Amino acid sequence: MSSSSLLKIFFSRSAKGTYSHSFPGLWYRAVTISVNSFCTTLSSAVDETTEDTALERSKTMSKAMRAYLERAKAHDKFIAEQAVEYEIGMRHLANIMGEDPETFTTEDRDRSIAYLFPSGLFEPRARPLMKHPMELFPKRKAAEFDESGRPFHTLFYTGRPAYYQVLHDITGVIMELDHFSSRMSRLNVSKDQEKSLNLGGSEWISKSELETKIIEPVKDDDYAFFIKSMNRMVNHPYSYRAEDFIMTYRKEVKTGQATQEIPKLMYTSDGVPYMTAYGGRKTARANVTVYGHGSGKITINGEDILYFSHIQEREQVVFPLHFSGLLGHVDVVAEVEGGGTTGKAGAIRFALSLALRPFLDSEVVEKMRLAGLLTRDPRVRERKKPGQKGARAKFTWKKR
């Protein structure tokens, strides 16, 4: 290894997700900055590893085993080299920035890279970065068999031992629950109705999360089967006994009111409480201000509710007021632009619902959430596709 490639900054994360085991300098795009060559001694420390004694022993080893060992060794060596380069690079970076290399942290590193290589790219992952090779290159499984080629795991020959181990665990737990339930019925003990599994506020981990959890690729059908099996366990009457196990495969969902922070009411110089909110639907955008102690006056772009000629739009604007019971008690001033009439009305409805929250009890706000008033309608017009008639519709096709 030459000592010239010392400060290594990756200009994209193209290396991520690659499972290749040959490590020439070609498979990632890197910029090297030669600073000076005082680190020759450091980098040469990894150049020559000691003569391998394992290969001597390996005359009885299978070819596959030997190939694996070589690959693993090459990978470890590559990572070690990269780590040394990274350490040196960090010191150089600290020197370039005129800071103390001993106290140079990862935050300092990221800040320096952003300073030295300013990027206008929108996607953060596409910007220049410098990271420890352990973070940068995908984690690989440790050896799953010993030197004689004998696998550690009983399910090794299924090809996906970790996945099938999960299924095996699930079956084990279900059998345990069945056993417990039959024992209870033998003892004539009915189930304590108060004890039950409450899974509210959590959901199953996604396929990719399962994959990272067990460090193994999972097929779509296999994931579906995993979910089916877990649901079967949850539906067991004594499933609360396996709560710990179930919860390891669930994650928290952040919905409900806990995540929505309601801002405090503001007051005009006359002491009238008011609240402003912004909302949108389709391409329409609305800014709505709600004034307390009002008489129910509605102003939309300087006009009253007759700004909308159709009844449906008027209904939409009044919907949050009517639902929350504040119709006739507050004044509404809305400024709306963009989109069509339906979009405008929807934008006002959403912004108005948001602005009404501080005037209401948390119970009513939760009711409004359930009524679908506090959700931004994400549906927008889908673009037309080339080669077909519309977004989904195809041209009529005749064979001849």
Partner 1 sequence: MAMSVIRKFSLLRIGLRSEFLHLRCASGLPDVLTRSYSKYPPSYVEPLYTQKSQEEAVEVGALEELKFKPVKAAYVFQNNSVFHDPLVVKFSQHIMKAGQRSLARELMVQTFEQIKRIQIKKKIEAESPEEGEMIEANPLKIFNQAVENCRPVLHLVPVKRGGITYKVPVPLTEKRSYFVAIRWLKEAGREKFRTVHFPEKMAKELIDAANNEGRVVKKKQDLHRQCEANRAYAHYRWS
Residue ranges that bind partner 1, judged by CB under 8 A: 200-203, 220-221, 224-225, 227-228, 253, 255-256, 310-312, 315-316, 318-319, 322-323, 342, 345-346, 350, 366-367, 369-380, 392
In this structure, the chain runs to a length of 400
Name which of 213 and 367 has its Cβ closer to partner 1: 367
For residue 121, the Cα-to-chain-centroid distance in whole angstroms is: 21
Do the Cβ atoms of 76 and 62 come closer than 8 Å? Answer: no
Name which of 242 and 368 has its Cβ closer to partner 1: 368
CA atoms within 13 A on the CB side of 3: 13
Do the Cβ atoms of 281 and 290 come closer than 8 Å? Answer: no
Q: Per the structure block, which two tokens stand in for 93?
A: 């970076």
CA–CA distance, 386 with 249 (Å, rounded to integer) = 42
CA–CA distance, 333 with 317 (Å, rounded to integer) = 11
Q: How far is the CB of 346 from partner 1 (least distance, A)?
A: 7
Name which of 111 and 310 has its Cβ closer to partner 1: 310
Name which of 94 and 374 has its Cβ closer to partner 1: 374
Torsion of CA 96, 99, 101, 106, to 10 degrees: -90
Name which of 74 and 224 has its Cβ closer to partner 1: 224
Give whole-number Cα distances, 116 to 98, 239, 257, 383, in Å.
Answer: 13, 56, 43, 40
Name which of 35 and 170 has its Cβ closer to partner 1: 170
Q: How far is the CB of 95 from partner 1 (least distance, A)?
A: 44
Backbone angles phi, psi at 134, to 5 degrees: -65, -30
The runs of H, that is alpha helices, within the chain are 40-47, 54-57, 63-96, 106-116, 133-136, 161-186, 207-214, 220-234, 243-247, 311-324, 341-356, 362-370
393's CB contacts (< 8 A; 6+ apart) are: none
Name which of 138 and 340 has its Cβ closer to partner 1: 340
Q: How far is the CB of 224 from partner 1 (least distance, A)?
A: 5
H helix or E strand, kind and range, residue 331 = strand 331-337
- Identify residue 151 by its one-letter amino acid code: P
Name which of 288 and 373 has its Cβ closer to partner 1: 373
Residue with tokens 């939409």: 316
Q: How far is the CB of 160 from partner 1 (least distance, A)?
A: 18
Q: How far is the CB of 344 from partner 1 (least distance, A)?
A: 12
DSSP for 221-286, written as a single string: HHHHHHHHHHHHHHTSTTGGGGHHHHHTTEEE---SGGG-PPPPPEE-TT--EEEEEEEEETTEEE
Q: How far is the CB of 356 from partner 1 (least distance, A)?
A: 14
Q: How far is the CB of 211 from partner 1 (least distance, A)?
A: 13
Q: How far is the CB of 322 from partner 1 (least distance, A)?
A: 5
Q: How far is the CB of 267 from partner 1 (least distance, A)?
A: 30
Name which of 179 and 322 has its Cβ closer to partner 1: 322
Name which of 6 and 246 has its Cβ closer to partner 1: 246
Pairing mode, strands 284-291 and 298-300: unpaired
Q: How many CB atoms lie within 10 A of CB 330?
A: 24
Q: How far is the CB of 164 from partner 1 (least distance, A)?
A: 18
